């Protein structure tokens, strides 16, 4: 998969990305590079593995650029939720840009355990930050009350995405919601539920909920 990504982007760009991902992981004590298939989980019978996208860590440079577009006060006040947090690279970037309350939602027991391990150094270095991993199907996850930044690096499609967007729409009826969507294959699901595009990058969209 890593090699496929090098081929897909052209050699120089692909190698540049691989090098920067490895450097990011080394700097922050992560082991997040290798992809991993997602499999059915016996204790999550409703989990639609057919909708799930396999684990691949987000490009930290792109994630950083998009998250830095959020106003500073949003980063300081909102809860950051990574839907399908995998090995926690997206959470790591979010800690670095100033989020203080973060939740990683991950259905895979193995990946959730790796995320916990990967967060050890960042927790040590950022004692005021509350970052938790919730090992659960994203469809069953209830976001906490208050402003929310939902982060999705193309974690799932289909009915799973529809249900998560539905829940975010319900949350947006009471609180402001921003959605950072990287590799936004299902962007129409958000547009159809009233989210507005605030900014766009090559490979990412930032949505915001309409004012209440």
Ligand X SMILES: C[S@@+](CC[C@H](N)C(=O)[O-])C[C@H]1O[C@@H](n2cnc3c(N)ncnc32)[C@H](O)[C@@H]1O
Q: Does 143 bind ligand X (CB under 6 A)?
A: no
Q: Does 90 bind ligand X (CB under 6 A)?
A: yes
Q: Please name the residues in contact with 146: beta carbons below 8 A apart, sequence gap of 6 or more.
A: 77, 78, 79, 175
Q: Please name the residues in contact with 105: beta carbons below 8 A apart, sequence gap of 6 or more.
A: 81, 82, 83, 84, 85, 134, 136, 138, 141
Q: Does 24 bind ligand X (CB under 6 A)?
A: no
Count of residues interacting with ligand X (CB under 6 A): 27
Q: Does 47 bind ligand X (CB under 6 A)?
A: yes
Q: Does 153 bind ligand X (CB under 6 A)?
A: yes
Among 70, 84, 176, 205, binds ligand X (CB under 6 A): 84
Among 111, 114, 204, 206, binds ligand X (CB under 6 A): 111
Q: Does 137 bind ligand X (CB under 6 A)?
A: yes
Among 155, 176, 184, 186, binds ligand X (CB under 6 A): 155
Q: Does 103 bind ligand X (CB under 6 A)?
A: no
- What is d(CA 208, CA 95) in angstroms, rounded to the nearest whole number? 21
Among 24, 74, 114, 160, binds ligand X (CB under 6 A): 160
Q: Does 38 bind ligand X (CB under 6 A)?
A: yes
Return the number of the residue (115 or 172) whose C-beta is nearest ligand X: 115
CA torsion sign, 204 to 171 to 140 to 131?
Answer: positive
- Residue in 4, 17, 186, 36 with CA at minimum distance from that of residue 115: 36
Q: Does 204 bind ligand X (CB under 6 A)?
A: no
Distances (CA, A) of 16 to 31, 61, 88, 91, 94: 18, 11, 21, 22, 22
Q: Does 108 bind ligand X (CB under 6 A)?
A: yes
Q: Please name the residues in contact with 26: beta carbons below 8 A apart, sequence gap of 6 or more.
A: none
- Burial of 209 by CB count in 10 Å (0-12 exposed, 13-18 middle, 19+ buried)? buried
Return the number of the residue (106 or 116) whose C-beta is nearest ligand X: 106
Among 30, 62, 114, 138, binds ligand X (CB under 6 A): 138
Q: Does 209 bind ligand X (CB under 6 A)?
A: no
Interface contacts to ligand X, rule CB under 6 A: 38, 47, 52-53, 55-58, 82, 84-86, 89-90, 105-108, 111, 137-139, 153-156, 160
């Amino acid at each position: 998969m890593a090699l496929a990504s090098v081929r897909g982007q052209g050699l120089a760009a692909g190698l540049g990305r691989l090098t920067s991902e490895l450097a990011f992981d080394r700097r922050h004590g992560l082991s997040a590079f290798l992809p991993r298939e997602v499999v059915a989980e016996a204790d999550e019978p409703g989990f639609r593995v057919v909708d799930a996208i396999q684990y691949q860590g987000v490009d930290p440079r792109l994630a950083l650029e998009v998250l830095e577009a959020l106003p500073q006060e949003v980063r300081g006040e909102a809860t950051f939720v990574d839907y399908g947090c995998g090995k926690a690279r997206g959470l790591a970037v979010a800690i670095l840009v100033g989020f203080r309350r973060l939740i990683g939602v991950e259905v895979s027991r193995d990946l959730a355990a790796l995320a916990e391990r990967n967060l050890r150094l960042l927790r040590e270095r950022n004692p005021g930050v509350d970052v938790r991993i919730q090992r659960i199907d994203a469809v069953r996850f209830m976001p906490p009350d208050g402003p929310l930044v939902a982060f999705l690096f193309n974690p799932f499609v289909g009915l799973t995405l529809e249900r998560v967007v539905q829940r975010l729409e319900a949350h947006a009826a009471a609180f402001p919601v921003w959605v950072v969507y990287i590799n936004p294959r299902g962007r129409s699901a958000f547009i159809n539920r009233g989210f507005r595009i605030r900014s766009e990058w090559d490979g990412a969209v930032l949505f915001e909920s309409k004012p209440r």
